[in-house]
Structure 1
Amino acid sequence: MSPLDLKLLRDLWRIKGQAVAIGLVLAVGVLMLVMMTGLVASLDETRRAYYERHRFAEVFAPVTRAPERLVDDLAAIPGVASVEGRVTGHALVDIVARDLPVQAQAVSLPDYREPRLNDVYLTDGRKLDSRREDEILLLRSFALAHSLQPGDTLSATMNGARRSFRIVGLAQSPEFLYTTAPGELVPDDSRFGVIWMSRTALEAAYDMDGAFNEALLSLGRDADKAAIINAVDRILEPYGGLGAYGREDQTSNRFISEEITGLRASSTGVPPVFLAVAAFLLYIVVSRMVQAERNQIGLLKAFGYTDLEVGCHYFKLILAISLGGALAGCLMGVASGRAMTGLYVEYYKFPFLVFRVNPSSFVMGFAVSVLTASVGGLVVLRRVFVLTPATAMRPPVPPDYSRTRRIGRALNSVLDQPSRMVLRRVTRHAGRMAGAILGIAAGMALSVSMISIMSSFDHTVDLSFSVVDRSDVTVTFNEAMSNKVVLELRRMPGVIEVEPVRNVSVVMRNGVKTHRGAVNGLVPSARLYRALDSDSSTIEMRKDGMILAQSLANILDIQPGELLTVEVREGRRPTLTVPVAGVAQTLLGSPAYMDLETLNQVLREPNRVSGAYLRIDAVRSSEIYRKLKNMPSVAGVSLKEDGRAAFQRIIDSGAGAIRYVMALIAAVITFGIVYNAASIAYAERARDLASLRVIGFTKGETAFVLLGELALVTFLALPIGAMLGYWLTFVVAKGFSTDLYQIPATLDLKCYGEAAMSVVAAAMVSGWLVKRDMDRADLISALKTRE
Structure 2
Amino acid sequence: MKLLRDLRRLWAQALAIALVMAAGVATLVLGVGAVDSLERTRDAYYEANRFADVFATATRAPRTLLPRIESIDGVLEAEGRIRRIALLDMPGMAEPGSLLLVSLPGADGLNRLHLREGRLPDPRHADEAVVSQGFAASHALGPGSRMGVLMNGRMRELRVTGVAISPEFVYALGPGDMMPDPRRFGIAWLPDESLAAAYDFRGAFDDVALNLAPGASPATVMERLDAILAPYGGTGATGRKDQVSHAFLDAELTQLRGMSRVLPPIFLLVAAFLVNMTLGRLVTLEREQIGLLKALGYGPWAIARHYVGFVLAIAAVGILLGWVAGAWMGVGLARLYVRFFDFPNLVFSRNPEPYAIAALVTVGAAVAGAIDAVRRVAWLPPAVAMSPPAPVRYRRLWGGAAERLLRIRQSTVMIARHLLRWPLRTASGVLGMSLAVAVLVGSLWSTGSIEKMIDLTFDRAERQDAMLTFAEPRPMAALFDIRRMPGVLRAEPVRIASVRLSHGPRERQVALIGSRSGDDLSRLLDIRERPMAPPDAGVVLSEALADLLGVEPGDRVRVDVLEGDRRSFEMPVSGVSLGYLGLSAAIALPTLNGLLGEGPRITGTRVQLDPARADDFFAAVKATPQAGFVMLLDRTLRRFRETMAQNITIQITVYLTLAAIIAFGVVYNFARISLSEQGRELASLRVLGFTRGEVAAILYGEIAAVVLVAQPLGWLIGTGFAMAVVRAFSSELYRVPLVINSGVYAVASLVALAAALASALLVRGRIDRLDLIEVLKTRE
Amino acid at match of 1:14: R
Distance 2:544 2:365 in 1: 37
- SS, match of residue 46 in structure 1: helix
Q: Which residue of 2 aligns with 1:633?
A: 626
Distance 1:503 1:663 in 2: 45
Q: CA deviation at 1:753?
A: 1.1
Maintained 8 Å contact 1:154/1:164: yes
Amino acid at match of 1:622: D
Maintained 8 Å contact 1:68/1:211: yes
Please state if 1:573 is matched with 2:566.
Answer: yes
Maintained 8 Å contact 1:83/1:116: no
Q: 1:94 aligns with which of 83, 89, 94?
A: 89
Q: 1:609 aligns with which of 602, 622, 630?
A: 602
Q: 1:16 aligns with which of 3, 11, 22?
A: 11
Please state if 1:394 is matched with 2:387.
Answer: yes
Alignment of 1:266-281 (within 5 A): 266-281=259-274
Distance 1:634 1:469 in 2: 21
Please state if 1:35 is matched with 2:30.
Answer: yes
Q: Which residue of 1 aligns with 2:673?
A: 680
Amino acid at match of 1:16: W
Please state if 1:415 is matched with 2:408.
Answer: yes
Maintained 8 Å contact 1:531/1:585: yes
- SS, match of residue 715 in structure 1: helix
Please state if 1:599 is matched with 2:585.
Answer: no
Q: CA deviation at 1:645?
A: 2.2
Please state if 1:643 is matched with 2:636.
Answer: yes
Question: Given the superposition, is the C-alpha separation of residues 442 and 26 from structure 1 closer, same or farther in structure 2, using an over 3 Å criterion?
Answer: same
Q: Which moved more, 1:400-409 or 1:578-587?
A: 400-409
C-alpha distance after superposition, 1:314-360 (max 9, x if no partner): 11111011111111111111111111111111111111112123212
Question: Given the superposition, is the C-alpha separation of residues 85 and 656 from structure 1 closer, same or farther in structure 2, using an over 3 Å criterion?
Answer: farther
Amino acid at match of 1:103: S
Question: Given the superposition, is the C-alpha separation of residues 409 and 756 from structure 1 closer, same or farther in structure 2, using an over 3 Å criterion?
Answer: closer
Please state if 1:670 is matched with 2:672.
Answer: no
Q: 1:260 aligns with which of 242, 253, 264?
A: 253
Q: Which moved more, 1:197-206 or 1:33-42?
A: 33-42
Q: 2:534 aligns with which of 534, 537, 541?
A: 541
Maintained 8 Å contact 1:87/1:214: yes
Question: Given the superposition, is the C-alpha separation of residues 579 and 407 from structure 1 closer, same or farther in structure 2, using an over 3 Å criterion?
Answer: farther
Q: CA deviation at 1:194?
A: 0.8
Distance 1:45 1:288 in 2: 47
Structure 1, unaligned runs of 5 or more = 1-5
Alignment of 1:713-728 (within 5 A): 713-728=706-721
Q: CA deviation at 1:115?
A: 4.7
Q: CA deviation at 1:196?
A: 0.9
TM-score with structure 1 setting the length? 0.95
Question: Given the superposition, is the C-alpha separation of residues 329 and 205 from structure 1 closer, same or farther in structure 2, using an over 3 Å criterion?
Answer: same
- SS, match of residue 531 in structure 2: coil
Distance 1:586 1:148 in 2: 38
Q: Which residue of 2 aligns with 1:299?
A: 292
Distance 1:176 1:409 in 2: 71
- SS, match of residue 707 in structure 1: helix
Distance 1:785 1:606 in 2: 96
Distance 2:439 2:308 in 1: 30
Question: Given the superposition, is the C-alpha separation of residues 523 and 14 from structure 1 closer, same or farther in structure 2, using an over 3 Å criterion?
Answer: farther
Distance 2:576 2:657 in 1: 36
- Percentage of matched positions with identical amino acids: 40
Question: Given the superposition, is the C-alpha separation of residues 716 and 411 from structure 1 closer, same or farther in structure 2, using an over 3 Å criterion?
Answer: farther
C-alpha distance after superposition, 1:652-709 (max 9, x if no partner): 5679954653343233223322333223222222222112111211101101111011
Amino acid at match of 1:580: V
Please state if 1:179 is matched with 2:172.
Answer: yes
Q: CA deviation at 1:449?
A: 1.8
Amino acid at match of 1:160: G
Q: CA deviation at 1:185?
A: 3.0
TM-score with structure 2 setting the length? 0.96
Alignment of 1:308-387 (within 5 A): 308-387=301-380
Maintained 8 Å contact 2:262/2:725: no
Q: CA deviation at 1:284?
A: 1.4
Q: CA deviation at 1:611?
A: 1.8
C-alpha distance after superposition, 1:459-478 (max 9, x if no partner): 32333222322222221111
Maintained 8 Å contact 1:451/1:663: no
Distance 1:690 1:751 in 2: 41
Q: CA deviation at 1:250?
A: 1.0
Q: CA deviation at 1:780?
A: 2.6
Please state if 1:84 is matched with 2:79.
Answer: yes
Q: Which residue of 2 aligns with 1:147?
A: 140
Amino acid at match of 1:320: A
Question: Given the superposition, is the C-alpha separation of residues 410 and 418 from structure 1 closer, same or farther in structure 2, using an over 3 Å criterion?
Answer: closer
C-alpha distance after superposition, 1:143-202 (max 9, x if no partner): 111111110111101122211111111111111111111122321111111111111110
Q: Which moved more, 1:615-624 or 1:650-659?
A: 650-659
Q: 1:497 aligns with which of 472, 487, 490?
A: 490
Distance 1:286 1:337 in 2: 33
Distance 2:572 2:729 in 1: 31
Q: Which residue of 2 aligns with 1:3?
A: none
Distance 2:110 2:631 in 1: 31
Q: Which residue of 1 aligns with 2:48?
A: 53
Distance 2:406 2:690 in 1: 21
Distance 2:390 2:363 in 1: 34
Q: Which moved more, 1:645-654 or 1:600-609?
A: 645-654
- SS, match of residue 682 in structure 2: helix
Q: CA deviation at 1:130?
A: 0.9
Alignment of 1:449-488 (within 5 A): 449-488=442-481
Q: CA deviation at 1:385?
A: 1.6
Alignment of 1:768-783 (within 5 A): 768-783=761-776
Distance 1:465 1:20 in 2: 48
Distance 1:409 1:530 in 2: 61
Amino acid at match of 2:114: Y
Maintained 8 Å contact 1:437/1:716: yes
Distance 1:202 1:115 in 2: 20
- SS, match of residue 525 in structure 2: coil
Distance 1:515 1:591 in 2: 10
Maintained 8 Å contact 2:56/2:236: yes
Distance 1:215 1:200 in 2: 16
